[in-house]
Chain A
């Protein structure tokens, strides 16, 4: 009983240090293995990408920067990997300037690994300012709206853009986001043109997206790095150690640790209440 009351007095800085230690173990030792449970929204996202015809392009609308790389980075990487493996052309547009660098880096590293070619299998449209005209332009005239790619080349002259003009040639739009950009893409790009929309949010925003999944406005979702790890399971990477799998392991250990802390905290609270009541009773008896 006494130890439970004393546990409530632990300095918050000690708790922070313990969380760091708990998280550090999987980060240093890189355990392999992916989640075997794959949620229906991840399954649906996989099916949408998997069934896109080769003559269409997927647009990755990327509204995230380095600050959320640990969540949005694995999502971007796994989707790019799947499309490279399936031979589906894709173009990535970044609404965040620093994020433009990060997504380009992810694309080039996967391109080397999977022996693909920039400008033929994929294109990076670079950083563009997010506004209504740009979102609408993706569906109405993609080459004119994007104009130049990240390297300054004219988009319309790249082989990857052969036969790609407007929404008729787009298979799906994937919104990879760390801020509230989903509705804009929905209103101006996907719904007026009848395009499939997939969503890759950070965990904070994921709960509010379920209503769009239920109504069919969003076809599938990868919830944070955990969603990316589940998607990796679907593309046959369950035995490969990746950033998503490491993050998922670290998250699981941290969640267990937090649950234990919550339990101990509540037990300590109950114990201290009981002790206070007993002391009050003794004082009144005196």
Chain B
């Protein structure tokens, strides 16, 4: 019996995985329709899995191979001092011995500050250097000069906007700062546009799975048949009916329903 069950599971493992993934996707996306218990259940399952997975990864990839195995099995006994140092953090919960935790916090703050300085040097110093662009015509002729000029206008406008050492009273400074604000807004708009593109791509990934891996392979493998076309046509008709109904509904009712959802 157990063997038959195991064989059945092995034979249908791909289908089971795909159906589970489809169910999880529908559960999470169901919140787009309205808040519901199905969504909450799967949200909690996800949080629980992520927490358990985090503990497992911390042990299997960090504490196990880098600390426990060298200390216990490879004779590197001095790793025990790492446990002593690590346990010092927990003295923050003791009013009397809190100073012990401050020692280790101070140590790590010093290390982090040093690392940040190094990071700042590596990341931003080349940026400062590359901001000094030549205004002379380059490989692309005067186009390079125009590009460099646009770059300088944007750079100085944005920097002026963030210059708070004195009030922006002078008309030239105020106008430059105002232009800087506009340029920043355009930049934020570009970031938002890229965000929309990114989110749509993620949705495309999930839809691709639902349509091609789940629906067309598992649910309706003969999707080119007349039945599939009838179902697709019905879906479109229902959608059109929903749109017409939604437009025809008075605004008052609409706002009341959304308020009750919230």
Contact = CB atoms under 8 A, between A and B. Distances in A.
Nearest to B189: A207
Contact of A20 (B119, B207, B246): B207
Contact of A207 (B115, B190, B247): B190
B251 interface: yes
B202 A13 contact: no
A258 B127 CA distance: 36
Nearest to B192: A207
Interface string B43-72: 000000000010001000110000000000
A69 interface: yes
Contact of A17 (B198, B204, B242): B242
Contact-size category for A: 35 or more
B204 A70 contact: yes
Nearest to A11: B246
Contact of B202 (A68, A128, A183, A192): A68
B217 interface: no
Contacts of A70: 201-202, 204-206, 208
Interface stretch (A54-62, A232-240, A247-255): A247-255
A9 B252 CA distance: 10
A279 to B, nearest CB: 14
B239 interface: yes
Contact of B32 (A13, A21, A97, A208): A13
A268 to B, nearest CB: 11
A272 to B, nearest CB: 10
Contacts of B199: 204
**B-side binding surface: helix, strand, loop or mixed?**
helix
Contacts of A203: 194-195, 197-198, 201
A14 interface: yes
Contacts of B212: 27-28
A127 interface: yes
Interface in B177-231: 187, 190-191, 194-208, 211-212, 216
Given A13-B32, A224-B201, A215 B129 contact: yes
Interface in B117-145: 118-119, 122-123, 126-127, 129-130
Contacts of A243: 208
Interface hub of A13, A14, A16 (most chain B Cβ within 10 A): A14
Contact of A224 (B61, B119, B187, B198): B198
Contact of A11 (B122, B200, B204, B254): B254
Given A183-B119, A216-B130, A69 B205 contact: yes
A206 B249 contact: no
A216 B126 contact: yes
Interface in A186-222: 186-187, 191-192, 202-208, 211, 214-217
Contact of A21 (B57, B201, B236, B247): B236
Nearest to B123: A183
A28 B213 CA distance: 11
A129 B243 CA distance: 50
A67 B50 CA distance: 13
A186 B248 CA distance: 56
A28 B32 contact: no
Nearest to B254: A9
Interface hub of A16, A67, A127, A187 (most chain B Cβ within 10 A): A187
Which 7 residue pairs spanning A and B have beta carbons closest together? Answer: A70-B205, A203-B198, A215-B130, A204-B198, A203-B197, A187-B122, A11-B246
Interface of A: 3, 6-7, 9-11, 13-14, 16-21, 23-24, 27-28, 67-71, 73, 97, 127-129, 132, 183, 186-187, 191-192, 202-208, 211, 214-217, 223-226, 243, 246-247, 250-251, 254-255, 258
Interface of B: 32-33, 53, 57, 61-62, 115, 118-119, 122-123, 126-127, 129-130, 187, 190-191, 194-208, 211-212, 216, 236, 239, 242-243, 246-249, 251, 254
